[in-house]
Amino acid sequence: MTYKPFDSVPCTVMDIFLGAGTVGLVAEKLTRKWIGIELNPDYCEMAKARIRKKAWNVEDGHENWIQAALF
């Protein structure tokens, strides 16, 4: 996906290798919906913490975060 600065078309970003959550973090900052997939539970927790802190300015446990489903 190429981001155009003034693009008003709604879209959802999907990252099938979420890792540390960089794509999710950028999508949050650009007010895009996003889906992240990660098999490693350690990376899921890392991405959750990173996005909470940097995109939402929220410390652990102060909001209802979407639960990651691992299957």
To which residue do tokens 């802190």 refer? Answer: 53
| pTM tops 0.85, yes or no | no
pLDDT at 20: 92
CA 3 to chain centre: 16
Q: Mean of the pLDDT values across residues 28-50? A: 89
Asked whether the predicted pLDDT for residue 31 surpasses 90, the reply is no
Strands (E), 1-71: 12-15, 33-36
pLDDT at 27: 86
Whole-number percent of the chain with pLDDT over 70: 65
Give the span between the Cα atoms of 21 and 36, in whole angstroms.
Answer: 8
DSSP state of 62: S
Give the span between the Cα atoms of 13 and 60, in whole angstroms.
Answer: 25
Q: Mean of the pLDDT values across residues 1-16? A: 72
pLDDT at 43: 93
